[in-house]
Every structure is written in structure tokens, then in C-alpha cells.
Amino acid sequence: MKTLALKYGCNPNQKPAEIRSVSGELPFQVLNGNPGYINFMDALNSWQLVKELKMALNMPAAASFKHVSPAGAALGLPLTDEEKRACFVEDIDLSPIAAAYVRARGADRMSSFGDWAAMSDIVDKATALVLKREVSDGIIAPGYTHEALEILKQKKGGKYNIVEIDPAYEPPALETKLIYGVEFIQQKNSIIPSAKDLENIVTANKNLPEDAKRDLILAMLTLKYTQSNSVCYVFNGQVIGVGAGQQSRIHCTRLAGEKTDIWYLKQHPRVLNLKFKENVGRPERDNALDLFVRRDAAEYELKMLPDLLEEVPARLTDKERETWLQGLKNVTLGSDGFFPFRDNIDRAAKSGVKYVVQPGGSVRDDIVIDSCNEYDMVMVMTGIRLFHH
């Protein structure tokens, strides 16, 4: 199959629409459903991310994509009991690839509503059981066990989009894009970061443990497939906050930092012990948790909490939030472009950032380095810009 006709393009009025292979057959099969134009953009971007994470770190990897950027990405490391409760998976025996997806979706469960899921490894029963419960548009993976495929085929009334990708497929070296009748051609961004790219430590603190190197590489690869400008925060093999597509880098840092804070606040005992009313669905629970922990939740928004919770306890005070967030430490911050001002570092410090990776190259690099030194951070300058459009 070299061409696949689609229902429509980005919007229903954009017809006709199709995808084509530039050389040979299309590198995937649609096993179920009828994926659309945006579905395939998410599928092919997310697949590249998890494939390269597996290549770089030799661990199962998963991503949760929305509108061609990751809401989260993660490696297949075990979850803490608190993380399992926050993601509503206490009752599932998670395999490494299932854990990777739970952690990827758990970064920002509100943004992952209706996501496209990507897995580096064959999807097993545990992963399918996790997905069965969530609102998701589709999945791409190199394969599926028989049990997993049958479970996933039952989603969305039998219309869940399931794509199997050829893991051996390599795209052409040149990429093309057509905008307003003008064709753009560029070399594919084939960089896969490794420990060798982390040798230029520019701060006074040069202590970079192996776990931090892993998280720096995870941050860089996630940014490689995130719409620019972008930054992301990473903790223990899990992206916990993504700021994508902002024109100002500080807005990326603030956005991702707020998501990071919310991720950690959801593990506060008072939040974990919230009791939901019977028949309250998972999306409504995610919305309620977000409202409960957000400092800026409006009064009209908070009015929905009594409809969702058996009892609405006192929300966290500013002091309680601040005290709890002090427990978040050794976080990694990655940026796809250089930091032009120290305000990014000042904001990052509020969310427990210890390790920073960025390309460098700003006329104010010295000021940014000095700000990292003030917080005893470790910063690596790679010389590798990772813009993605």
C-alpha cells in the first residue's frame, strides 16, 4: 500500500486528503479503526520519539501525544504507590511497557484526554487494560499480543485506531514539506543524544550522576519532537511537565513548571485521599484533582467539586503548597534552544530543578551560568539545538 485515503485533512472542510509513501510501501498497517490526518501526524511523530528513546537508553518507552506534541513521555520504570494512586492503576500488575505508558500519561492527565499513545515495545495485556480505561484516540506500536489486540479492538465501540509500525523502517534522509505552494526541503534531524553530548558542564557543580544523564537524554529527545519553542521538566525517567509552542521561552518554562508543580501536588496525602462519588468517570476525576490543587482555580470552577466529591475538604493553603513542593528535588530541565535570560533558571528553581541541559549560544550565557551557580545547579551546554516545526 503506497497511498491511504483519509476522511479529511486537519479540518472537515479540507478534502480530499490522503497520505502517501515517497518510496516503496507505507511502513505501517492499520489493524483497526480509521485514523485521520492529525492522528497520523501524532502517530508518526510519537513513534519516532519512543523508538529513539529505546535506542538511546535501552529501556521500554511510551509517549502520550496531543496535537503533534507530547503531553508526556516516560521510560518503563516502576511507579511508587503514590504515583499508582494518582493514576488510578493500583489494581493492575504493570509490565515495564505498561508502566511506561502510565507514567507518560500521568505527566498531565488533563492534556492526555483523547491522546495518541505510542509504545516502543510490543503491547501486552497489561498495557491494553490500562488503555481500555482511558479516553484515547489511538495507538502505534511495533506489535500487539493477541490478548492485547482483542482488548483494544473493543474500545470506542470497535472503532479504536490501532496502527502497527514496521520497527525496521528508516525514512529517506531528506524531508519535504509543502506550505502555500512552496516546497521546503531539509536533512532529517538524525541526532540521537548520548552521554557524549553531556560532557560540556559549564557550572561550578559538575556532579552529574548516571540517573541524571538518563533524564537529560530523555529531556532532549522529548524536545526533539515537541513543537518549538519548548522546554520540559523530567524526574526519574518521566517527563512531568511540557511547555510547547510558546513564542517566549520564559512562558514555556512557566507553563511546564506549573504542570510540574501540579503533578507533584497530586501526590499530596490530602489529594490522594479525596473520595469521589459513585459513577464519577476518570476524566471528571482528573478535572477535579486539577481544580483542587491549582492555586488560581476560579470560584465558578470550584462549584463543581461538590458534585464530584463525597466531601470537599479544605484546599491546600499557599503555605501548605510551598512546604509540599519543597520535597520535589533533583528535577531536570531541558530546553530546545538557549536560555536568553536568567528568569528561566529562577522559575525552574521553584520546581526543584537540579540539572539543566540546553544548547547554549546566548550573548547572556555567562549570566545564565551564574544564576545556575547561585542555586548549585549542574548545567550542560550541548551545542545541539532541537527546534521542531
Please confirm, yes or no, whether 389 is among the known catalytic residues: yes
Please confirm, yes or no, whether 319 is among the known catalytic residues: no
Q: What is the DSSP string of 308-335?
A: HBSS-PPPPPHHHHHHHHTT--SEEEEE
Q: Of the candidates 238, 267, 287, which has an alpha carbon nearest to the alpha carbon of residue 86?
A: 267
C-alpha 239/C-alpha 231 separation (Å) is: 11
Q: Active site residue: 229, 236, 287, 344, which one?
A: 229
Question: Alpha helix locations (H) across 107-233?
Answer: 125-133, 146-152, 210-224
Please confirm, yes or no, whether 66 is among the known catalytic residues: yes
DSSP state of 376: T
Q: Active site residue: 67, 132, 156, 251, which one?
A: 67
Q: Active site residue: 39, 45, 54, 66, which one?
A: 66
C-alpha 176/C-alpha 191 separation (Å) is: 18
Torsion-angle region of 270 (φ positive above 0: left; ψ -120 to 50: alpha; else: beta): alpha
Return phi, psi of residue 101, to 5°.
Answer: -70, -40
Residues 6+ apart with CB under 8 A from 108: 71, 72, 241, 242, 259, 262, 263
Q: Which cell numbers hold the place of 91?
A: 489494581
Task: Tell me the catalytic residues.
Answer: 66-67, 229, 389
